[in-house]
Amino acid sequence: MDKLATLWVFVRKHKYLITLLIFVVIVGFLDENSIMRRLGYARDINNLNSEIEKYRKDYETNTRQLNELAVDSGAIEKIARERYLMKKPNEDIYVLDNDTLE
């Protein structure tokens, strides 16, 4: 009985601190909109925004290349030679591998 009385005195003396700690635990960790989840969502949003920027730059580059192809017929030949290693019948192609320099 003595332990229960001392516990009750402790609770009455520190009731605001105990209430505040319970509130912080609920809001910080247990709630659906907890701080931990919000930090995770913010990290996901930042990752998705960086991905959007990457795809936007790729789109701009591809649009510029498409416009070059529509205007200049030499650009088609350049892309065919560089990317697909196509050649004219009387040419030789030499492929240099720069990755072996390491």
Residue 95 lies in a domain: yes
Residue 26 lies in a domain: no
Residue 11 lies in a domain: no
Residue 59 lies in a domain: yes
Per-residue pLDDT, averaged over 33-54, amounts to 94
Give all strands (DSSP E) within the chain, no chain letters.
none
What's the total number of domains in the chain? 1
pLDDT of residue 41: 95
Residue 60 lies in a domain: yes
Sign of CA dihedral 46, 50, 53, 55: negative
**Could you list the residue range(s) of the whole structural domain that residue 94 is in?**
48-102
Residue 81 lies in a domain: yes
pLDDT of residue 68: 84
CA 38, CA 33: separation in Å to the nearest integer? 7
Residue 22 lies in a domain: no
pLDDT of residue 27: 83
Only one residue has tokens 């200049």, namely: 72
Label residue 101 by pLDDT band (50, 70, 90): very low
Residue 101 lies in a domain: yes
| pLDDT, averaged across the chain | 87
What proportion of the chain, given as a percentage, has pLDDT over 90? 40
Other residues' Cβ atoms within 10 Å of the Cβ of residue 69? 14
Label residue 36 by pLDDT band (50, 70, 90): confident
Instruction: Enter the pTM of the model.
Output: 0.55
